[in-house]
Each structure stands twice: as C-alpha cells, then as structure tokens.
C-alpha cells in the first residue's frame, strides 16, 4: 500500500505530530510505502517526525506548494492520510487520491475551533455550527473581539466542513468527536472512532520497574502533576484555585508540578504565589517543557495527574500516557475525557458544565485521601492504558485504508 502522510508541520511540535511519529514507523514496519508532505519547514533544534529511510519528503515552504503537490501526485499514492493543512492545499490534495482525515480538533464545527463559551464562566458549547453562532460569539466570548476575524474564521470553518464531506473517511479519537461530526452532517458510515495509540517508546519506563506503593499519611508528601500547554482552555487557574482546599482537606504536604509552557504561564505563576502564601503545606513548581524521559520519570514519582481542561478535549492522550506509569487522573467530565477516565476506576471525574475549583478539589481529594483507594486507582490506570495498544490501532487503520481504496477502485472502474 502506498500511503502519503500529509501534515502542516514536519517537526514534532504538537499532538498530531506526536501521533504521526508513532504511527508512521509502524506502517513502514508493516512493509507499506510511505511518503510525507508538509507545509512548513522545521524550526532549528526541533526533532522531526520519524520517517523510513529513502521515503520521499516534500515541503511546500521549501519548494513551493504547486511543485510539492505535483510531486505528491506523481508519486501516485493509494491513499492520503491527512492530519492538518490549509484549506487551499487540502482541496487540491482531495483531487489526487482518496483522503482519510484524522480530525484532531473541532474542524468545521465552531467559528474559533474552541467549542466552548468563555463567559460569563467557562463551559462547553453544544450548539451546532451555523449562522446563529454569530449571536453567541461576543456575549459568550467564543473567540477574539475583531469582527473581521470572526467573519473570516466563520467562512473558513464553513468551507472546511464542506471539504470534509468530500473525504473518503474521517477518523476521530473519541465517540464524542464522532457524534459531533455526524451531528454536522457527515455520513455515519464514513466517520470512525479510532483512539490514538500509546507507542512502546512514548515515555521512559525502566525495564521491570514498578512505581512504589503509595502510603498516604499525615506526614507524607503528596505529589500532583499537570502536563500540557498553558492556555486558558487548559484550566490552570481553576486548578490553582483548587489547591488550597485540597491542602486543607488532606492536612499533609502537597507538592504540585506544572510541566509545560504557553501564553498563560506567567498568569498561572502569578496566581500560584498567593496560593502558596496562604498554605504552608503547599509547594508549587513550574518546570517548563520536559523531554519524554524526564516527564516519564516525573509520572512515576507522582501520585495523581490533574487534567483541569475546561474546553471539551477531543480526547486527552496525556491521561492514558500517565496510566502507563500507574498514575491515575482527576479531570472535568468534558469532551472525550470520560472515554478514557472511568470515574472510580482510574481516577475521578468532576462536573464539567460548568467546571469549578470546588468540584475539581473534591475529585482530587477523593483520589488521594485513602491509601487503599489510591493504590486501587493506580492499578486501574495501568489496566485502562493497556487498551490503547499500537498494533490494534495500526490494524484498524489499515482496514479503513483498504476499504477506502477498494471503494475508490470500484468507482473508477465503473
């Protein structure tokens, strides 16, 4: 099978790129021919998505979009696997070969793509995309304040939704996202739920090592972990507001580590200072981004992952990744999160509509207060993470590719 992978970036700068870095080597190992098209060159010092030796690679920003697309067409792929790209190029790619899109976000279903109301308080939006979104855009602060930007984004999302209807198949990471696209008019037969895989080398895990047994007590330090991009939708401020009630309820030293960076990092750090000042048992640290080995070790050393996202995450892969290290999670019940976080099995869910610091604090305390309960949740986290194996994902993906190619061949022969 000749598979052309298409993405905006060649560098591993986000979730889509991390996914391709896991899947492409597995597809190549299964003896399929791989080519790669990207729109932008990689920034200096950023690792690239791993590709097979001698795989054709075309970058539109290096040789021009027209020449890159012509080379892609000349390679004659059987199927094109798209993760993300601009609309003009996406429309052209759809003319070359059958397209399978992995929709990592709310493409064509929201003006801003956030799928949430920011005012008067954060909560998920369940409206269907259309002209009525203009009525809610400013009162609910769905995006920015520039009316021209709102109109441009609306037209772009409407065009993207129309383009998605032309694709041979659309893959989503969760049933939540599949329902969202079906609700927006995509054929149910062409929209498939395919949870992302956890590659065998996703994080550092010492061979044969298991996390130490958790024995919470009044004199034991408990460790909470956040890992992700620091933006308003990720809920960092709500998590920080929840930490003082958590520390007061647990009556033991509480160490909280925020891993990552983003436009709201300074705001989060500022909010953390008075929180620490009001509780002598609370310690908060911001580390910036960590490499996979250091993050994996930090997961092994932590007691609970906190996922305070207030927007409806399409999936939230950080949760199952933490589960590889027997690290349970506390999160809001939004988007696709409840599909990997089973309340009382591998962590606790807090109400997500609307999310609140009080609700998140209760979920955290319920996870870590009792040593036997935390040990049980650790085991549950590991068991749940095992559901996301790489080989099962590749088998399902190849079956979809084969079906799409067969349908296209039948259509061409008629």
Question: pLDDT tens across 395-413, in order?
Answer: 999 999 999 999 988 888 7
Q: Structural domain tally of the chain?
A: 2
Q: Is residue 99 within 8 Å of 80, Cβ to Cβ?
A: yes
The CA angle 26-404-17, to the nearest 5 degrees, is 40
- Asked whether residue 264 falls in the same domain as residue 193, the answer is no
Residue 215: predicted pLDDT: 44
In terms of DSSP H, where are the helices of 289-389?
A: 292-301, 318-323, 357-368, 371-385
- Asked whether residue 109 falls in the same domain as residue 83, the answer is yes
Q: Is the pTM higher than 0.85?
A: yes
Q: Does residue 359 belong to any structural domain of this protein? A: yes
- Asked whether residue 230 falls in the same domain as residue 325, the answer is yes
Residue 379's domain comprises 222-385
> For residue 391, what pLDDT band results from cuts at 50, 70 and 90?
very high
- Asked whether residue 269 falls in the same domain as residue 368, the answer is yes
The CA distance from 254 to 280, in Å, is: 9
The closest of 112, 116, 111, 91 to 101, measured between CA atoms, is: 91
- Asked whether residue 81 falls in the same domain as residue 161, the answer is yes
- Asked whether residue 305 falls in the same domain as residue 350, the answer is yes
Paired tokens of 5: 């992978």
Q: Is residue 198 within 8 Å of 296, Cβ to Cβ?
A: no
CATH number (domain holding residue 228): 3.40.50.2000
What integer best gives the mean pLDDT of the chain?
Answer: 91
Helix (H, G, I), strand (E, B) or coil at 162: helix
pLDDT in tens, 144-179: 889 999 999 999 999 999 999 999 999 999 999 999
- Asked whether residue 186 falls in the same domain as residue 227, the answer is no
What pairing do the DSSP bridges indicate for beta strands 123-124 and 169-172?
Answer: unpaired
Helix (H, G, I), strand (E, B) or coil at 370: coil
- Asked whether residue 120 falls in the same domain as residue 25, the answer is yes
> What percentage of the chain carries pLDDT values higher than 90?
79
Q: Does residue 205 belong to any structural domain of this protein? A: no
- Asked whether residue 250 falls in the same domain as residue 344, the answer is yes
- Asked whether residue 272 falls in the same domain as residue 322, the answer is yes
Q: Does residue 309 belong to any structural domain of this protein? A: yes
Q: Does residue 180 belong to any structural domain of this protein? A: yes
What count of Cα atoms within 13 Å lies in the side-chain half-sphere of residue 275?
A: 26
Q: Does residue 206 belong to any structural domain of this protein? A: no
pLDDT in tens, 4-28: 999 999 988 778 888 999 999 999 9
Q: Does residue 403 belong to any structural domain of this protein? A: yes
The closest of 284, 259, 280, 260 to 271, measured between CA atoms, is: 284
Q: Is residue 259 within 8 Å of 291, Cβ to Cβ?
A: no
Q: Does residue 317 belong to any structural domain of this protein? A: yes
Q: Does residue 217 belong to any structural domain of this protein? A: no
Contacts of 2 (CB under 8 A, 6+ apart): 32, 33, 35, 75, 76, 77, 78, 79
**Polymer length of the chain:** 414
- Asked whether residue 314 falls in the same domain as residue 272, the answer is yes
Contacts of 291 (CB under 8 A, 6+ apart): none
What count of Cα atoms within 13 Å lies in the side-chain half-sphere of residue 197?
A: 21
């Amino acid at each position: 099978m000749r598979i052309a992978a298409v993405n905006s970036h060649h560098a591993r700068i986000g979730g889509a790129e991390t996914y391709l870095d896991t899947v492409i080597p597995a597809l190549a190992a299964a003896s399929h021919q791989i080519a790669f098209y990207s729109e932008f060159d990689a920034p200096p010092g950023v690792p690239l998505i791993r590709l097979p030796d001698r795989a054709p690679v075309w970058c539109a920003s290096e040789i021009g979009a027209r020449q890159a697309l012509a080379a892609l067409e000349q390679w004659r792929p059987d199927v094109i696997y798209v993760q993300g790209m601009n609309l003009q190029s996406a429309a052209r790619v759809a003319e070359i070969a059958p397209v399978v899109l992995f929709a990592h976000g709310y493409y064509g279903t929201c003006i801003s793509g956030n799928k949430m109301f920011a005012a008067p308080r954060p909560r998920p939006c369940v409206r269907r995309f259309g002209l009525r979104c203009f009525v809610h855009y400013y009162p609910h602060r769905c995006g920015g304040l520039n009316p021209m930007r709102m109109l441009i984004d609306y037209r772009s999302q409407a065009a993207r939704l129309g383009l998605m209807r032309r694709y041979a198949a659309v893959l989503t990471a969760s049933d939540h996202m599949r329902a969202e696209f079906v609700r927006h008019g995509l054929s149910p037969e062409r929209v498939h739920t395919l949870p992302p895989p956890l590659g065998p080398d996703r994080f550092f895990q010492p061979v044969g090592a298991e996390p130490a047994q958790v024995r919470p007590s009044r004199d034991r330090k408990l460790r909470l972990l956040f890992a992700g991009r620091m933006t308003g939708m990720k809920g960092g401020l709500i998590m920080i507001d929840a930490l003082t009630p958590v520390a007061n309820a647990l009556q033991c030293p509480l160490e909280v580590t925020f891993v990552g960076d983003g436009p709201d990092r300074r705001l989060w750090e500022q909010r953390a200072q008075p929180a620490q000042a009001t509780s002598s048992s609370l310690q908060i640290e911001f580390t910036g981004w960590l490499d996979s080995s250091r993050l994996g070790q930090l997961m092994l050393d932590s007691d609970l992952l906190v996922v305070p996202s207030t927007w409806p995450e399409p999936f939230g892969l950080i949760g199952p990744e933490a589960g590889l290290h027997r690290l349970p999670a506390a999160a809001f019940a939004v988007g696709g999160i409840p599909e990997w976080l089973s309340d009382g099995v591998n962590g606790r869910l807090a109400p997500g509509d609307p999310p609140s610091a009080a609700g998140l604090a209760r979920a955290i305390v319920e996870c870590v207060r009792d040593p036997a309960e935390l040990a049980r949740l650790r085991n549950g986290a590991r068991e749940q993470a095992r559901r996301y194996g790489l080989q099962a994902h590749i088998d399902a993906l190849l079956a979809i590719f084969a079906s799409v190619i067969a349908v296209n061949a039948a259509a061409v022969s008629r």
